[in-house]
Amino acid sequence: MVTATEGFLARGDLDRLFQALGAGGRRIVGPTVVDGVVVYDELSNVVDLPVGWTFETAPGTYRATPGPSVRAFDYGVPPTAWKRFTHPPIVPLTRSRRDGDLVSIAPAGEPPPRLAFVGVRACELAALRIQERVMRAGPVGDADHVARRDAALVVAVECATAASTCFCTSMGTGPEVRDGADIVLSELDEGFTVRAGSPGGAAIVDGLALPAATAEQERRAAGQVAAVRATIGDPVPAEGLPERLRTALDHPRWADVAERCLACANCTLVCPTCFCTSVAVASDLDGLDATTERQWDGCFSLGFGRVAGDANFRPKVKDRYRQWLTHKFSTWWDQFGSSGCVGCGRCIAWCPVGIDVREELLAIAPVGASTGPVPWPPSPAEGRAPAELASVAPAHHALATVMHLVRETNDTVTLRLEVPDAAIRAARPGQFVMVEIPAFAIPPISISRIHPDGIELTIRAAGPATRALTSLPVRAQVALRGPFGRAWPIASAHGRDVVIVAGGIGLAPLRPVIDAVLADRARFGAVRLCLGARTPRDRLFVAEMAALGGRVDLEVAEIVDRAGPEWLGRVGIVTQLFDRAAWNGSTVSAFICGPERMMRATAAALERQGVPPAATWLTLERNMACGVGTCGHCQLGPFFVCRDGPVFSVAELGSALVREGL
Amino acid sequence: MVGSDQLLPDGLNGPSSRASEPSSGVRLPLTIRCMETSALTAVLGDTWFGATLPVAARARLASVGQLVEVPDGTVLIEEDRPCPAMGILIRGRIALRLRVQGVGDRTIMTLEPGEVFGWSAVLPRAVATSTCVAIAPSVAILFDGVGLMMALELDDTLAAAVYHRLLASVARRLSATRVQLLDVYRAAGEPW
């Protein structure tokens, strides 16, 4: 916490501070001018600072101009954000190699450089804190981010001028620097008032043996930051904003802004808090050696919400803009307990068509707007806890060996894996693993059976990676990461009737539920298994299900969407197996998995049967990549499907289950 | 159990059965189980369709129906041909099939006990839109189309009750057909 002025650094002595910061090989990063734009980059000396440069910003406009001022920190926030150094655009993750059936995977990358960030604004300190909440204080720390942040020293400079695009005052992040910096400077014409904000900062400041700042210097320093606050005002009243946005998901303005938005993703690239990433895989031509690296991505990318089956949960610009804005100002609170916006205004200045987020917020969620129905329970975080995660660092892999395989259908194979890793063997029904073979993308696969010495994965070949996995021979190795996600709450069904509804490949993640229920059969009432498939040939685990059909303590019914005359079983949709059943729905716990449209129809039919939404569980599919809620791909409203799900109750999801474009 | 069927309601296994052409106009060697109207009313009352019919309407409907045994493989109604009768399946399974040029017969839906078939019989043109085939030994109540239409025209209460249930049944199939059209289980590309 910054509490007291420590001294005064004369302008001519700034170089002494730089030397102290650079002691021990620490490199200094700060503002400098490149091609007429102030950016954050490595500085060799104080002469690299943008002395005299001032700026002008407006929606879609940024212009830096050299001038006669002696000040070095009178520029506005540049397009570069500090996340470039704490969460770089590209981070090598792994190097992998396939040698016959054997696979080896090793972490890539190097220890992070020791850096001193000079010129960090109050809003940018808030952004660093927010990224910390995401990547350090989340359920699993991002090792790369944590190492980079821990290796950085932060020298903040309080704002002496305001840009027209600033709104830190509304977001509660500035312009005054309160905490989060090692050293805080306030720039005056003749030099800097200096405060220490941490023991490390204090040691550096003490080493400079600075004279005390005069009372007049302190007054001027305080006065100029107060003037900045007055200039900015309160352009976006934030009180109640998350709630207002949450209930404005159908506002016509989303379509209006989509007409103007280019979906270029500039706003996410310049945003100091946006953290979403994707993993890119590169390999040699022979596919034996491969590398993976994490790259910045964002919710404006068309492919960001794409999942198997060519489905895209946010196909329209309207959907993607709504995701970005509601995440920043509303669902970020649900996920991380803070706003995702710091009010730096970069997204306004660097939007090529000048979309002003302040204006959009005031139009979509104005103060005093009547709120509509809440789309999901107000505080998802108060519901079931997110998954407890084992060792899941991106570079941590457990090797597994294919011991046996079963071709279930013409495109689906079950791999029986021997897994030495105890954490994966301790997986619970409903959890998933990320499955990697060198040179291929890394799909999330639900565990279809848990054995004492390994697991089974049932995989449908729908793309290059899953085709490669379903073509593996016995004795081949794969690399696994996980287990991830919340499990099916099977114990919640003790003493109740159980209905399990599976559609297509959705039977795979439900198979461990069937195993668990049958292993503890006396704890449950009637157990009914309803199976749907596209055609008779697409049914999974046919012999196994037929054997279950012979049990007296279990009802099994199956139905296919379409069939030829040779099929004498049921044809129709899976809800027809139970929508006229004479159950007492209130005593039923239901477990559902299948295509999302099928699950929606099933959940609705079960509710009509009286099954409580809080006792109706389903597992969602999203583009899960990291498995721990830090890549951002699998967001659904306030949820990270990989971490808060994939198993949810219908009550938890609220209308998020049926709302398009989330 | 896979493919398990509902038990035949009490009263259907009585001795008084004979093979004949039912009055429904379905010209097939079906075995008619002669039942008192009251017994048939009870059978109808055990179905989804008849359970919530007003008592008088249920009895009136039963009075124009006949309980028939339908051997496995029997084609009850043929696509594009006159639909002489409407039926309610009591036991067994019936497939609704369409002929697809170059492909052959496709089963588009199967009916389980309690469900209605041959509703075209109460539509003005009375032409069947699909072929109804018993794919398991079945029992059904058949209603002669002409007789049923007359009964519905003469009895508004009966008509309201029957058409209400027919609409619910049609809506259920329409809803299912929409989902089938989406082909939600179709395998396709993936992001990996």
- As a whole number, the mean pLDDT across chain A is 91
* Contact at CB, B4 and A555, closer than 8 angstroms: yes
Instruction: Tell me the C-alpha distance between A353 and B190, whole Å.
Output: 33
Mean pLDDT of chain B: 83
- Which stretch of DSSP H or E encloses residue A169? helix A168-171
Grade residue B183 by pLDDT with cuts at 50, 70 and 90. confident
pLDDT in tens, B126-181: 899 999 999 999 999 999 999 999 999 999 999 999 999 999 999 999 999 998 88
Q: What is the pLDDT of residue A378?
A: 58
pLDDT, tens digit (0-9, with 9 covering 90-100), for A317-349: 999 999 999 999 999 998 888 999 999 999 999
Interval A392-410 mean pLDDT: 85
Range in A117-131, A234-248, A624-638, B129-143 the model is least confident about: A624-638
pLDDT at A530: 97
Q: Which residues in chain B are contacts of A463 at CB distance < 8 A?
A: 189-192
Quick check: helix, strand or coil at residue B30? coil
Angle at A590 between CA A588 and CA A593, to 5 degrees: 170
**A104 conformational bin, left if phi > 0, alpha if psi -120 to 50, beta if neither:** beta
ipTM: 0.84
Average pLDDT over residues B103-110: 92
Q: Which of residues 133-162 of B touch A (CB under 8 A)?
A: 133, 135-136
Query: Residue A572 and residue B110: Cβ atoms within 8 Å?
Result: yes
DSSP B73: T
How much of chain B is helix, strand and coil, in % rounded to 5? 35, 25, 40
A131-135 LR contacts (CB < 8 Å, sep 24+): A131/A83, A131/A86, A131/A87, A131/A272, A131/A273, A131/A275, A133/A336, A133/A337, A133/A338, A134/A273, A134/A275, A134/A336, A134/A630, A135/A87, A135/A275, A135/A630
* Average pLDDT over every residue of A82-89: 96
Residue B179 with chain A: CB contacts under 8 Å: 573, 597-598, 601
pLDDT attached to residue A76: 83
Both tokens assigned to A166: 């600033």
Confidence of residue A544 (pLDDT cuts 50, 70, 90): very high
**pLDDT tens readout for residues A572-605:** 999 999 998 888 999 999 999 998 889 999 999 9
In whole angstroms, give the CA distance from residue A641 to residue A623.
Answer: 9
CB contact under 8 A, A564 and B104: yes
Mean pLDDT (whole number) for A390-398: 61
Per-residue pLDDT at A141 exceeds 80: no
Q: Nearest-5° angle of CA A573, CA A578, CA A583?
A: 170
Alpha-carbon distance of A130 to A75, in angstroms, equals: 23
Average pLDDT of span A474-498: 95
- Using a CB-CB distance cutoff of 8 angstroms, which residues of chain B are in contact with residue A570? 3, 93, 110, 112
Neighbours of A536 (CB within 10 A): 17
B1 in contact with chain A, both atoms CB, cutoff 8 A: yes
| pLDDT (0 to 100) of residue B189 | 55
Q: Is the pLDDT of residue B11 over 50?
A: no
In the structure, what pLDDT confidence band is assigned to residue B32 with cuts at 50, 70 and 90? confident
Q: What pLDDT, on the 0 to 100 scale, is given for residue A60?
A: 94
Q: What is the pLDDT of residue A386?
A: 60
Minimal Cα distance from A532: which residue of B? B185
Q: Which residues of B touch A465 (CB under 8 A)?
A: 190, 192
Q: Kindly tell me the sign of the dihedral angle through the C-alpha atoms of A329, A333, A339, A340.
A: negative
What is the three-class DSSP state of B102? Answer: coil
Asked if the Cβ–Cβ distance from B192 to A309 is below 8 Å, we say: no
Measured in angstroms, the CA of B34 and the nearest CA of chain A are apart by: 29
Q: Which residues of chain A are within 8 Å of residue B93 when distances are taken between CB atoms?
A: 568, 570
pLDDT in tens, A211-251: 999 999 999 999 999 999 999 999 998 999 999 998 899 99
Six-digit token string for A23? 């002691």
pLDDT at B12 over 60: no
- Number of other residues whose CB lies within 10 A of the CB of residue B25: 16
Q: Which residue of B has its CA nearest to A306?
A: B191
How far is A185 from A8, CA to CA, in rounded Å?
9
Contact A271, A81 (CB under 8 A): yes
Tell me the β-bridge partners of A402.
A417
Let me know if A161 is exposed, middle or buried by CB neighbors in 10 A (0-12, 13-18, 19+). middle
C-alpha dihedral sign at A7, A13, A16, A21? positive
- Rounded distance between C-alpha atoms, residue A173 and residue A229, angstroms: 11
- In the sheet where A527-533 sits, what is the strand order? A570-571, A555-560, A527-533, A497-503, A588-593, A616-619, A647-649
| Dihedral sign from CA coordinates of A644, A650, A653, A658 | positive
Of the candidates A476, A561, A238, A260, the residue with the CA atom closest to the CA atom of residue A457: A476
Q: How many CB pairs under 8 A join A and B?
A: 127
User: For chain A, how many residues are written?
Assistant: 662
Give B65-92 pLDDT, tens digit per residue: 999 999 999 999 999 999 999 999 999 9
Which is higher by pLDDT, B113 or A630?
Answer: B113
**Rounded CA gap, A395 and B144, in Å?**
72
- Residue A134 confidence (pLDDT): 87
Q: What's the pLDDT score for residue B187?
A: 62
CB contact under 8 A, A532 and B105: no
Could you tell me what percent of chain B has a pLDDT over 70?
Answer: 82
Choose between A655 and A116: higher pLDDT. A116
State whether residue A564 sits within 8 Å of chain B by CB.
yes
Measuring CA to CA, how many Å separate A271 from each of A145, A287, A350, A469? Answer: 17, 36, 10, 38
- Predicted confidence band of residue A55 (pLDDT cuts 50, 70, 90): confident
Tens digits of residue pLDDT in A512-533: 999 999 999 999 999 999 999 9
Residue with tokens 């302008």: A11
Residues A355, A257: Cα–Cα separation, whole Å: 8
Of the candidates B97, B107, B185, which has its C-beta nearest A504's C-beta?
A: B185
* Cα-Cα end-to-end distance for chain B: 38
The reply to whether omega before A509 is within 30° of 0 (cis) is no
- Both tokens of B181, joined, read 């059209």
Helix (H, G, I), strand (E, B) or coil at A30: strand
Contact A505, A531 (CB under 8 A): no
pLDDT value at position B21? 53
Contact A549 B2 (CB under 8 A): yes
**C-alpha pair distances (Å), A389 with each of A230, A487, A516, A617:** 46, 11, 21, 21
Could you tell me which residue, A524 or A463, shows the higher pLDDT?
A524
A461-to-A207, A333, A469, A510, A512 alpha-carbon distances in Å:
64, 38, 8, 19, 21
Here the tokens at position A57 are 């910003």
Distance in Å, alpha carbon of A131 to nearest chain B alpha carbon: 27
Nearest to A597 among B106, B176, B182 (CB): B182
Residue whose entry in the numeric block shows the structure tokens 């596209």: A534
Residue A210 is classified by DSSP as P
**A545 shares contact with chain B (CB less than 8 Å):** yes
Q: What percentage of residues in chain A have a pLDDT greater than 70? A: 95
Query: Is residue B1 pLDDT above 80, yes or no?
Result: no
The DSSP secondary structure of A419-456, one letter per residue, reads: ---HHHHT--TT-EEEEE-TTS---EEEEEEEETTEEE
Sign of CA dihedral A138, A140, A145, A151: positive
Q: Mark yes or no for CB contact A598/B190 under 8 Å.
A: no
Q: Which residues of A touch B98 (CB under 8 A)?
A: none
Nearest CA in chain B to A553: B1
pLDDT-derived band at B26, boundaries 50, 70, 90: low
Which residue of A309, A556, A571 is in closest CB contact with B188?
Answer: A309
